Chain A
Amino acid sequence: MHPAAPRKQPRRKARLPALRLAFLALGLAATGAALAKPIAFQGGTTVMAEYGAGTMIEAQAFHAPSYRWSVGLGQLRLDADDESFSRDITYSRVNILVGRRNRPQSQANAFAWAGLGTADSSDDQGERLALNAGGQIDHETLRFYSSLRTDWHHSTSRFSHRIDTAQLGWAPYPHNWDRVATWFVVQGRNFTGGLYEDIEGALLLRLFRNGRSSAFWIEAGMTQDGRLQSMFMLNF
């Protein structure tokens, strides 16, 4: 007599509670400019949405009262690669420019951020308090871009995971103010905490352009296993 095969626990689709949706919408409406840099300029607002190869979906909105810091909200959906669980995290965050070096042909930055939020997991009951923190260093010229970034989400005795991202970018031509900028970006991303068991590599095409009242950025590409990675960002 064969033992019954263990039933795979269906992944519970964690729906966003109406209150959290309203909170997020309020944040988006009240603010209005993430990666490449979480701080645009004094008085600037950044909104961003990213689809990460079926592993993560994230939306953020930040406003910068000063060029040294910004504040905003985010919503992150994480899906384990083996579909064993999913997690929704709603968070608020403060970003700080730790240091900047402006040179005639380059800019280098160091950012740090931290915040609080709530997490709702398919393998758990109820919302939990979640902490988030991270940092980014980057260096940029008109032709080359490099960055290292880490994002950490933690809920005591529930989960702790980190997403580390490295990017190298190359522009085939130096863009100017009123032209579309084109970048080819190689990205490596490492997940901890049971989300994904390998390093996820992606090749991305990044386009951005400055307009009279806003600047937009779109990015799309594929991971090494053929999954879509895309991002949209608006600064105004």
Chain B
Amino acid sequence: MIPLRIVLLSAFLATSPNAIAENGGPTGGRTIEMRVDGLVCAFCAQGVSKKLAAQPSIEDVFVDLERGLVAVALRTGLDINDETLRETLTAAGYSLRQVERRTESLTELRARLEASRK
């Protein structure tokens, strides 16, 4: 029989913020990856990050001009529907082509993209 202290310690470690983030649980690891058309100029595309960051459900924004990619990290327990994303990007002057929801964190997504660049 597993000692109670070990069970409690395991439960504590499993629910710690870092563990949850690595496992893609509620406090991290939920991103939305979007393919966006017209994203060719950082100066002009500044509105993308500003308008997405203003959405209450979005914690962080990542833009990759070379790939025409915009990714957002969602706040814990919040979400945003595709139509709102489309309207937000349209208001910024761009066209949303594809939406993909992922369980990896924004950090992991960035690392993946960086690795594929090399």
User: Number of A residues contacting the other chain (C-beta, 8 Å)?
Assistant: 38
Interface positions, chain B 52-104, Cβ under 8 Å from A, are 62-66, 68, 90-95, 97
Q: In the assembled complex, how far is the CB of residue A105 from the closest CB belonging to chain B, in whole angstroms?
A: 7
B18-53 vs A: 1/0 string, CB under 8 Å? 000000000000000001011111111111111100
Identify A104's interface contact among B37, B44, B93, CB under 8 A: B37
Q: Which residue of B lies closest to A106 (CB)?
A: B40
Does A184 have its Cβ within 8 Å of any Cβ on chain B? Answer: no
In the complex the two chains form, is A41's CB within 8 Å of B42's CB?
no
Q: How far is the CA of A36 from the CA of B91 in the complex (A)?
A: 18
CB of B92 within 8 A of CB of A42, answer: yes
Residue from B37, B39, B42 within 8 A of A208 (CB atoms) = B42
- Assembled-state Cα–Cα distance A64/B66 (Å): 27
Is A102 an interface position by the 8 A CB rule? yes
CA distance A235 to B103 in the complex (A): 34
Residues of chain B contacted by A179 (CB below 8 angstroms): 42
Q: Known interface pairs A41-B46, A41-B51. Does A140 touch B92 (Cβ–Cβ under 8 Å)?
A: no
Q: Does A189 contact B (CB under 8 A)?
A: no
Q: Which residues of B contact A67 (CB under 8 A)?
A: 47, 90-93
CA distance A69 to B100 in the complex (A): 31
Contact partner, A41, options B62, B65, B93, B95, Cβ 8 Å: B93
Q: How many B residues touch A, CB cutoff 8 Å?
A: 29
Residues A140 and B41 in contact, CB atoms below 8 Å apart: yes
Docked-complex contact A41 and B43, CB < 8 angstroms = no
When the two chains form the complex, which single residue of A104, A142, A177 contacts B97, counting CB atoms closer than 8 Å? Answer: A104
Q: Are B65 and A42 in contact (CB-based, < 8 A)?
A: no
CB-CB under 8 A from B51, the residues of chain A are 41-43
- Contact of A102 with B37 in the complex, beta carbons under 8 Å: yes
Residues from chain B with Cβ under 8 Å of A193 in the complex: none
Q: How far is it, in angstroms, between the C-alpha of A236 and the C-alpha of B47 when the chains are bound?
A: 8
- List A166-196 residues whose CB lies under 8 Å from chain B: 174-179, 181
Q: Which of B35, B41, B66, B90 contacts A36 (CB 8 A)?
A: B41
Residues of A within 8 A of B62 (CB): 177
Q: Is the CB of A217 within 8 A of B94?
A: no
Instruction: Select the residue from B50, B51, B92 with max chain A CB neighbours within 10 A.
Output: B50
Q: How far is the CA of A100 from the CA of B91 in the complex (A)?
A: 13
Instruction: List, in ascending order, chain B residues with CB within 8 A of A235's CB.
Output: 43-44, 46-47
Residue from the set B44, B48, B50, B51 with the largest chain A CB neighbour count within 10 Å: B44
Tell me the smallest distance from the CB of A168 to a CB of chain B, in Å.
16
- One digit per residue, 1 when the CB lies within 8 angstroms of any chain B CB and 0 when it does not, for chain A 204-222 equals 0000111001110100000
Tell me whether A176 and B65 are in contact (CB under 8 A): yes
The distance from the CB of A36 to the nearest CB of chain B, in whole angstroms, is: 7
**Given A67-B92, A102-B95, A107 and B64 contact (CB-CB distance below 8 Å):** no
Chain A residues, Cβ within 8 Å of B63: 177
For A41, the chain B residues whose CB sits under 8 A away are: 44, 46-48, 50-51, 91-93
Q: Given A67-B93, A102-B95, are A210 and B43 also a contact pair (CB < 8 Å)?
A: yes
Known: A100-B38, A174-B66. Is A42-B47 also a contact (CB below 8 A)? yes
Residue contacts A-B, CB under 8 angstroms, 10 given: A40-B46, A41-B44, A66-B91, A100-B93, A102-B94, A103-B37, A105-B40, A176-B65, A176-B66, A210-B42
